[in-house]
């Protein structure tokens, strides 16, 4: 006859066997149901397959997050205007147009430049009498010639209509000819058609040569109608009354010589020249031709009314 105790002894063994089998079976089922990305077909899962809140932004790549954009909403009403900001610093007013600016008609007359003759618009020197600049002139030797002028605006004007002619000159002690034997100064030169009946020539240069001015500073106004000498260039005028290589003439004398009763002498160009005589380095300013003073400035030539 079996007792209660003898009947219960094998139970733990049986239970253990069943538990092992259950665990083995459970482990096999768990391993078989693990799903990786390789087991899912691209595009086969939709939002309905995912539990709400189960995917967080940090689980997504940055490129994917950047594409998550909803539809653009309607533009809201414009807000009220904000207060006016502080006023900025005052700017520089635009420069006024330069009255009387002559421009490109004044320039180096290249065809009359010889050797190392040079002319240039410049600031100064030494408190220029008009504005802030002047026309610089330089010749390296007696063989050089510099020429600067206007080949357009005076063409066709009559020489007899010139009533006021003059300029101011800046020179230095280095320009003084040894012994003071001859003036070493820039000239005012008009290329002209002389129309002198007794001379078969349609071209000459009418040149004003001023007397020397004090060195190391600006001269006063040099009046070409009452000081200095005038001469006509060209072999056809050799030996005539106003031959530049002869005695030359005063302004009144050259006007009388050209007014011989035939066609009037006419101007072709007006120029400032230096050479060919001595080396020179200096400047001129305030060229006066009748009622206009031509003020040489670093950026151009300004026409001013003569005072």
Structural domain spans, the chain: 106-305
Is the pTM of the predicted complex or chain greater than 0.85?
Answer: no
Collect contacts of 135-138 with beta carbons under 8 A, ≥24 apart: 135/272, 135/283, 135/284, 135/285, 135/296, 136/282, 136/283, 137/186, 137/272, 137/274, 137/280, 137/281, 137/282, 137/283, 137/284, 138/274, 138/280, 138/281, 138/282
Question: pLDDT, tens digit, for every residue of 172-221?
Answer: 999 999 877 789 999 999 999 999 999 999 999 999 999 999 999 999 99
- Compute the distance between CA of residue 86 and CA of residue 120 in angstroms, rounded to an integer: 48
Protein fold of 106-305: Jelly Rolls (2.60.120)
Below-70 pLDDT ranges, the chain: 1-72, 85, 87-103
Please count the other Cβ atoms lying within 10 Å of the Cβ belonging to residue 102. Answer: 18
Match 């421009």 to its residue by tokens: 103
Q: Is the dihedral of CA 118, 120, 125, 130 positive or negative?
A: positive
User: Whats the size of the chain, residue-wise?
Assistant: 307
CB contact set of 132 (below 8 Å; sequence gap of 6+)? 123, 124, 297, 298
Residue 77 has a pLDDT of 84
Residue 75 has a pLDDT of 77
Q: Which helix (H) or strand (E) holds 107?
A: strand 106-108
Which 3 state secondary structure label does DSSP give 185? coil
């Amino acid at each position: 006859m079996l007792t209660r105790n003898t009947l219960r002894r094998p139970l733990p063994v049986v239970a253990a066997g069943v538990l092992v089998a259950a665990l083995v079976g459970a482990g096999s089922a768990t391993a078989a149901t693990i799903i990786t990305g390789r087991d899912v077909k691209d595009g086969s899962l939709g939002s309905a397959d995912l539990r709400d809140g189960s995917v967080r932004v940090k689980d997504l790549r940055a490129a994917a997050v950047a594409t998550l954009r909803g539809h653009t909403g309607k533009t809201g009403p414009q807000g009220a205007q904000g207060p006016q900001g502080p006023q900025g610093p005052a700017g520089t007013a635009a420069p006024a147009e330069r009255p009387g600016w002559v421009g490109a008609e004044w320039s180096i007359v290249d065809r009359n430049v010889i050797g190392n003759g040079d002319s240039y618009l410049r600031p100064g020197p030494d408190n220029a009498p008009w504005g802030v600049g002047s026309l610089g002139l330089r010749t390296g030797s007696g063989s050089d010639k510099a020429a600067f002028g206007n080949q357009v605006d005076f063409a066709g004007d009559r020489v007899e209509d010139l009533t006021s002619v003059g300029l101011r000159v800046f020179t230095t002690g280095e320009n003084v000819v040894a012994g003071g034997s001859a003036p070493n100064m820039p000239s005012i030169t008009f290329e002209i058609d002389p129309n002198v009946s007794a001379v078969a020539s349609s071209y000459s240069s009418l040149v004003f040569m001023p007397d020397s001015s004090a060195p190391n500073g600006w001269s006063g106004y040099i009046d070409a109608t009452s000081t200095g000498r005038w001469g006509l260039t060209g072999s056809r005028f050799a030996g005539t009354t106003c031959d530049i290589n002869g005695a030359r003439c005063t302004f009144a004398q050259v006007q009388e010589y050209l007014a011989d009763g035939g066609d009037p002498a006419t101007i072709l160009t007006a120029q400032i020249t230096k050479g060919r005589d001595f080396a020179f380095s200096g400047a001129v300013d305030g060229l006066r031709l009748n009622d206009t003073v031509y003020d040489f400035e670093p950026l151009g030539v300004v026409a001013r009314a003569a005072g």
